[in-house]
Amino acid sequence: MHLFTVILIAILLSNNRALADHLSQFPVVNTSLGSIKGSILTSRLGKNIFAFRGIRYAKPPIEDLRFRPPQPVDPWENLLDATEDGPMCPQPAYNRSEVSEDCLRLNIYTKQIPGKLIRIQPQNVLVYIHPGGFYAFSGQSHNNAGPQYLMDQDIVLVTINYRLGSLGFMSTGTEDCPGNAGLKDQVMALRWIRNHISSFGGNPDSVTLMGYSAGALSTTLHLISPMSRGLFHRAIVMSAAATSQVKIPTDQIELARKQAALLGCPVIPADKMMACLRKKPATDYADSLEYMFVISWNPVLLWKPVIEPNFGQERFLDQDPTEAFLKGDFMKVPIIAGITKDEFAGPAVAFLRNETLRNELDLNFDTLAPILFLYERHTEESKNRSRLLREEFLRDEPLSLNNSLQGLNYLFADSLIGFAMHRFVQLASRHTLVYQYKFSYVGRYSFLYYPYEKTPYGAVHHDDLLYLLSIPSRAPIFNVTDPENLTVERLTGMWSAFANTGDPNNAQISMPHWKPVTKTDNHYLNIGQVLTMEIGLFAERFAIWDQLFPLPTENTE
Ligand SMILES: *[C@@H]1O[C@H](CO)[C@@H](O)[C@H](O)[C@H]1NC(C)=O
Ligand SMILES: *[C@@H]1O[C@H](CO)[C@@H](O)[C@H](O)[C@H]1NC(C)=O
Ligand SMILES: *[C@@H]1O[C@H](CO)[C@@H](O)[C@H](O)[C@H]1NC(C)=O
Ligand SMILES: *[C@@H]1O[C@H](CO)[C@@H](O)[C@H](O)[C@H]1NC(C)=O
Ligand SMILES: *[C@@H]1O[C@H](CO)[C@@H](O)[C@H](O)[C@H]1NC(C)=O
Ligand SMILES: *[C@@H]1O[C@H](CO)[C@@H](O)[C@H](O)[C@H]1NC(C)=O
Ligand SMILES: *[C@@H]1O[C@H](CO)[C@@H](O)[C@H](O)[C@H]1NC(C)=O
């Protein structure tokens, strides 16, 4: 039954037209913490969406709580206004009043709300963890995570924020700041959802985690985190995984010191540094972001999750991700996992188009490659790897836009995204169902236009999100006559069928049977203008990476 039925009953019972009018614009949900007032949005196909946005799921992580694990929220008395998005976490932003450190918020979208007189069938829940390299973006509806597409399906959608950059990922290897705060935020959001989503018509026993890029890397960590056990039941891992060549450290003290120096704080001793860092305004962190990188916003993955030393705290990560998946020590839930055809072409274009950067990369390839492509620096082995990658992908030629673009694109794509996914799929599929995809559809809109800033380069990083979430800064909402309609229908159909049943083949669309990956066949669904089943995703390229970064047990040295 519909909320409008509730409203109708409310009208009949109260005969109070003013109240009824108010209720029909502002749905109210009662939770055990307090009551929440939402608003009504319209889905792409014209359905009503009850939206509850900007709900705090943790105390504001400010002052002494900065850098610390999130704390649960206290109950409230008055009606909580959740009619608009909350702020995004501190980051450089066009509009500063949309940013605040009080950013631990989530948005809930539902089409049915249970009430005193109304029983409903609880809907399956899809939780979205946003991308942005652990230092950008948010789950806000009006910037990059609008619900208009997914809410045409029968699900409850939740989007979450988590702390970013130094504020979310600082790790000094001490009890004071063991790291992973942003990931613990995500866990806190999942716990909030488990406790309260039924008030919004969601089923806490059927939660699908869907993460993109940094959010996907996070999702693969939730699969192995002792803190996340049992909080979700299926996973959609889009364009990143934690099983890459990146060595997961136990702290990033050097990065903490870099941040401290940029903000004029002492870098030793650690307690003085932290005390100073706790006093700096959050805007200082956003303003210094670009100076945290080594070269031109690289390495793209700067803040890393850490394997936390044990100080008796609740640890988010206590083992190496690749080893955990290798051992089969993870939540063996059904998984959708995949990448886009062209992924990280953006930095390749940026480096090759800029003469200074291009020359620098050309002359210092052996030292810059490990920074850009995320492997150990300064060792002989590192130098060997750089040489081999240059031979294999760039034919050892001088770098030029014309000749090196594809090779450099592949290097960024594989090192930042593809190889980790290849390894994740290989290891996870030994223990659980993995439906793999490659997204190759190219529509009229994209996150990278090249050449002439007019034509989409291909299917790059984030391009598949354009058909799952509305992203007003990048594309309009596609209507049923737009050519993109079919891709919206397919992606939202398959993803929600998976959230509802654990099998994307239950989507009400025309598609080939999507075969899971098996021991012998690396099946994947190619999501292009047509849907086709294929075998062996970028097998030749990933063989090079496999050879350079062998699995621990396959290491024959
Ligand atoms: C900035 O954000 C605030 C709060 O969301 C909003 O009221 C204001 O209109 C925005 N300003 C601009 C220029 O977009
Ligand atoms: C929510 O709580 C308010 C105030 O306690 C009450 O008037 C209202 O009937 C409740 N609504 C539902 C749907 O339970
Ligand atoms: C090229 O890159 C350098 C180093 O990042 C930067 O200072 C310069 O502004 C860039 N040039 C152009 C034309 O974008
Ligand atoms: C690096 O490559 C050289 C030449 O191929 C080889 O002799 C050496 O053992 C390699 N070193 C490492 C640490 O891999
Ligand atoms: C790059 O390719 C374009 C088009 O193929 C050609 O016009 C141009 O001369 C080439 N530039 C160089 C430096 O080779
Ligand atoms: C659909 O959107 C296109 C622009 O992308 C517009 O030209 C067209 O009129 C729209 N169709 C409908 C039915 O709204
Ligand atoms: C557009 O997609 C909707 C579902 O998302 C579907 O019902 C409709 O048939 C599609 N229209 C066209 C013209 O493909």
Model pLDDT for residues 90-133, shown as the tens digit of each residue: 999 988 899 999 999 999 999 999 987 778 899 999 999 999 99
Which atom of ligand 1 is least distant from the CA of 97? 2
pLDDT at 229 over 50: yes
Q: How confident is the model over 519-529, as pLDDT tens digits?
A: 999 999 999 99
Distance from the alpha carbon of residue 356 to the mean position of ligand 3, in angstroms: 7
Q: CB of 30 closer than 6 A to ligand 2?
A: yes
Q: Is 461 a catalytic residue?
A: yes
CB atoms under 10 Å from CB of 2, counted, come to 13
pLDDT confidence tier of residue 553, bands split at 50, 70 and 90: confident
Average of per-residue pLDDT across 52-74: 97
Ligand 5 contacts (CB < 6 A) are: 400, 402
User: 486: Cβ–Cβ under 8 A, 6 or more apart, which residues?
Assistant: none
Instruction: Report pLDDT for 488.
Output: 98
Contact assessment for residue 504 and residue 497, using Cβ atoms and an 8 Å cutoff: yes
Mean pLDDT of the chain: 95
pLDDT at 12 over 50: no
The helix or strand, by DSSP H or E, that contains position 484, with its residue range, turns out to be: none
Distance from the alpha carbon of residue 30 to the mean position of ligand 2, in angstroms: 6
Radius of gyration of the chain (CA): 23
Dihedral sign from CA coordinates of 85, 90, 96, 101:
positive
From residue 360, alpha-carbon distances to 368, 369, 380 in Å are 8, 11, 21
More confident residue, 15 or 129: 129
Which atom of ligand 1 is least distant from the CA of 85? 5
Residue of 489, 495, 510, 511 to mutate, ligand 7, most atoms within 8 A of C-beta = 489
Contact assessment for residue 190 and residue 282, using Cβ atoms and an 8 Å cutoff: no
Q: CB of 503 closer than 6 A to ligand 1?
A: no
From residue 318, alpha-carbon distances to 68, 158, 182, 251, 556 in Å are 18, 27, 16, 12, 26
Amino acid at 236: I
pLDDT at 430 over 60: yes
Please name the residue that has the structure tokens 């890393």.
304
Dihedral sign from CA coordinates of 83, 88, 93, 97:
positive
pLDDT at 360 over 80: yes
Q: How confident is the model over 262-321, as pLDDT tens digits?
A: 999 999 999 999 999 999 999 999 999 999 999 999 999 999 999 999 999 999 999 999
Token digits of residue 384: 């060997």
Identify the CA nearest to 409 among candidates 390, 393, 426, 432: 393
Q: How confident is the model over 154-203, as pLDDT tens digits?
A: 999 999 999 999 999 999 999 999 999 999 999 999 999 999 999 999 99
Instruction: Report pLDDT for 285.
Output: 98
Q: How confident is the model over 450-464, as pLDDT tens digits?
A: 998 889 999 999 999
pLDDT at 74 over 70: yes
Q: Is 397 a catalytic residue?
A: no
Average of per-residue pLDDT across 377-388: 97
From residue 358, alpha-carbon distances to 49, 241, 349, 408, 415 in Å are 49, 29, 10, 11, 19
Average of per-residue pLDDT across 243-265: 97
pLDDT at 14 over 60: no
Identify the CA nearest to 258 among candidates 278, 283, 277, 280: 277
- How far does the chain reach from its first CA to its final CA, in angstroms? 64
> What is the set of domains in the chain, with CATH numbers?
3-325 (3.40.50.1820), 334-554 (3.40.50.1820)
| pTM metric for this prediction | 0.94
Instruction: Report pLDDT for 63.
Output: 95
From residue 426, alpha-carbon distances to 320, 417, 422, 520, 537 in Å are 17, 14, 6, 10, 11
Q: CB of 477 closer than 6 A to ligand 6?
A: no
Q: Is 213 a catalytic residue?
A: yes
Of 461, 462, 496, 523, the catalytic one is 461
pLDDT at 426 over 80: yes
Q: CB of 391 closer than 6 A to ligand 4?
A: no
Helix ranges (DSSP H) in 364-418: 365-372, 380-394, 401-413
Length of the chain: 557
User: 29: Cβ–Cβ under 8 A, 6 or more apart, which residues?
Assistant: 35, 36, 38, 52, 113, 199, 200
pLDDT confidence tier of residue 25, bands split at 50, 70 and 90: confident
pLDDT confidence tier of residue 8, bands split at 50, 70 and 90: very low
Which atom of ligand 5 is least distant from the CA of 400? 13
| β-strand pairing of 335-340 with 202-212 | unpaired
Contact assessment for residue 51 and residue 157, using Cβ atoms and an 8 Å cutoff: no
